[in-house]
């Protein structure tokens, strides 16, 4: 693979920083010494920083010096206990994405360019000093011409050029790592880099964040104690986001909340309902609910900010996680491992006995403790060595969810020492499982199955004709080299009969499904109702007969 020539300057800058922090050997393994014409002795030199720092600390410092793209990547890697050992994960959690605010003039020029008007026509007032700043954007308070107090989130000028350049380089490095390292043998490093690129480029488009805020506002329209800021779309673009300003108290500032007379226990209940509804009911959740994004507004209203990071869970995901939670509460370690395998998190070839033993040790540590006394953050940290050792593949949305639950349990316990997140979970679990019984949930999947069977039945005559034609012409043949040919032919014959039987049975099921919408339950029943009922009974009998035939075929046959 050839490196992109237009990026050579940045390649050399990255290489120099990594060598300074003692990662020259990795660069040599990737083959960058030849591609960049760097002498091997340079890559082998000792780190230019203090020798008392361990490798994990040097990695964090290197990522911080490499800039926003690498900081964001390190923050994502800090959630990937399946990729990195626990000591590196702990260090990457310390990565900071705080930078001094940039000068006002470039921000003003960007706003005017994006909105197509002078700043004094757009806003009655805008504060030149930033309220907050990060590597990608900074935020300014403002007032619209009609008097609405807003905040203006503006992308840093030229940050897109820097990000896209670094993403190109990360793509190249991921390809080299895939081909040349042991990590590439175990994981799809290229896929991780591609997923990271999509995520980061999404953060550069504020329209996505605005749409997420609108979706949350719609989801919680009936919740009077939760508020999502209004997005002013007339003032918002891909690089500018203008939204309603909230003036409240951070949810972890207990002293200020007490002074203002807020009921902290009620606030903990509101926060729990917020998390459980967005996860268990909506399947669309805020993935970064740290206290800075949760403000308490007058009337014990929870104001939620910053929808740049969100997660999604399908119905199957939510059901699988609910079943896993029930197994954890029941302390059923064998069941937990089975469920992890069904979810694709644990491989079926894993050392099951060792994994069961490791999970059992962890659960026994907290066995018998009240739920509110089990710290989610601590449990999550203790799970990380198990995830890494047994190479459990946890989907990125599950990782975001674990982080969200851990943060919100910490927030809840800070507000109410007796806070019990799982006590709030039970009614949501009951509603979720009841939802599974509704036709609106299982109906689409059932109809897809009927469609597949219908395609099979409708295509069966044509395929049969083609196969018989090939047999007649002598184009299709079978060669069986076994000593008991008669027995094999007999078995093949029984299998073919069973397949034909099953196809015909599926045809009856499809026909019955087409008749069901025409049922009229008023008495006396018409001919359609009787056909459906009799057809259902016949199909049930034939289905049971087929199952019995399959069951009997599994028994060992007596040798003649």
Active-site positions read 288
What is the C-alpha to C-alpha distance for residues 45 and 51, in angstroms, rounded to an integer? Answer: 13
Q: 395, 398, 386: which is closest to 351 by C-alpha? A: 386
Q: Are strands 226-227 and 301-304 parallel, antiparallel or unpaired?
A: parallel
A 10 A CB-CB count for 442 gives 13
Helix, strand or coil, per DSSP, at residue 67 = coil
What's the rounded Cα separation, in Å, for the pair 328 and 316? Answer: 18
**Separation between Cα atoms, residue 72 and residue 170, nearest integer Å:** 12
Counting Cα atoms < 13 Å in the Cβ hemisphere of 497 gives: 10
Counted residue by residue, the chain has a size of 560
Confirm if 35 and 67 have CB atoms less than 8 A apart: no
**359/387 Cα distance (integer angstroms):** 10
Indicate the angle between helix axes 421-435 and 315-329, nearest 10 degrees. Answer: 130
Neighbours of 425 (CB within 10 A): 21
Q: How far, in Å, CA of 336 to CA of 359, rounded?
A: 9
Residue 204 CA to residue 182 CA, distance in Å, equals 33
Q: Are the C-beta atoms of residues 270 and 297 closer than 8 Å to each other? A: no
Those residues with Cβ within 8 angstroms of residue 422's Cβ, 6 or more apart along the chain or in another chain:
329, 371
């Amino acid at each position: 693979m050839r490196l992109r020539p237009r990026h050579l300057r940045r390649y050399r800058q990255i290489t120099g920083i990594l060598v300074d922090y003692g990662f020259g050997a990795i660069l040599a393994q990737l083959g960058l010494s030849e591609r960049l014409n760097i002498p091997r002795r340079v890559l082998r030199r000792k780190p230019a920083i203090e020798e008392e720092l361990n490798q994990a600390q040097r990695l964090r410092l290197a990522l911080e010096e490499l800039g926003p793209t690498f900081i964001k990547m390190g923050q994502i890697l800090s959630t990937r206990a399946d990729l990195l050992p626990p000591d590196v994960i702990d260090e990457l959690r310390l990565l900071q994405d705080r930078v001094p605010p940039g000068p006002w003039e470039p921000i003003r020029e960007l706003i005017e360019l994006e909105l197509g008007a002078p700043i004094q026509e757009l806003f009655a007032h805008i504060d030149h000093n930033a309220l907050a700043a990060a590597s990608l954007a900074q935020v300014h308070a403002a007032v619209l011409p009609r008097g609405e107090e807003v905040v203006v989130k503006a992308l840093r000028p030229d940050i897109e050029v820097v990000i896209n350049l670094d993403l190109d380089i990360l793509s190249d490095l991921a390809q080299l790592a895939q081909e040349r390292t042991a990590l590439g043998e175990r994981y799809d490093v290229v896929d991780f880099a591609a997923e990271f690129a999509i995520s980061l480029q999404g953060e550069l488009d504020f329209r996505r964040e605005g749409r997420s805020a609108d979706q949350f506002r719609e989801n919680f329209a009936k919740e009077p104690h939760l508020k999502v800021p209004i997005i002013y779309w007339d003032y918002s673009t891909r690089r500018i986001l203008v939204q309603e300003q909230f003036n409240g108290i951070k949810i972890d500032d207990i002293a200020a909340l007490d002074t203002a007379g807020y009921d902290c226990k009620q606030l903990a209940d509101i926060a729990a309902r917020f998390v459980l509804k967005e996860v268990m009911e909506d399947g669309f959740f805020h993935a970064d609910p740290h206290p800075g994004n949760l403000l308490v507004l007058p009337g014990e209203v929870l104001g939620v900010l910053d929808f740049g990071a969100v997660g999604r869970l399908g119905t199957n995901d939510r059901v699988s996680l609910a079943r896993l939670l029930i197994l954890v509460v029941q302390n059923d370690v064998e069941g937990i491992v089975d469920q992890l395998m069904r979810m694709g998190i644990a491989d079926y070839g894993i050392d099951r006995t060792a994994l069961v033993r490791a999970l059992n040790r962890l659960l026994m540590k907290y066995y018998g403790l009240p739920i509110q006394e089990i710290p989610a953050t601590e449990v999550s940290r203790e799970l990380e060595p198990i995830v890494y050792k047994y190479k459990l593949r946890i989907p990125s949305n599950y990782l975001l969810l674990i982080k969200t639950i851990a943060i919100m349990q910490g927030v809840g316990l800070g507000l109410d020492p007796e806070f019990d997140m799982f006590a709030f979970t039970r009614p949501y679990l009951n509603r979720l499982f009841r939802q599974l019984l509704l036709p609106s949930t299982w109906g689409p999947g059932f109809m897809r199955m009927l469609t597949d069977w219908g395609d099979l039945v409708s295509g069966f005559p044509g395929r049969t004709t083609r196969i018989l034609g090939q047999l007649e012409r002598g184009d299709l043949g079978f060669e069986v080299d076994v000593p008991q040919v008669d027995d094999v032919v007999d078995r093949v014959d029984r299998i073919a009969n069973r397949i034909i039987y099953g196809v015909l049975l599926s045809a009856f099921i499809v026909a019955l499904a087409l008749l069901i919408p025409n049922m009229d339950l008023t008495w006396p029943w018409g001919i359609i109702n009787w056909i459906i009922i009799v057809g259902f009974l016949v199909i049930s009998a034939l289905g049971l007969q087929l199952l019995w035939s399959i069951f009997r075929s599994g028994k060992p046959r007596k040798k003649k």
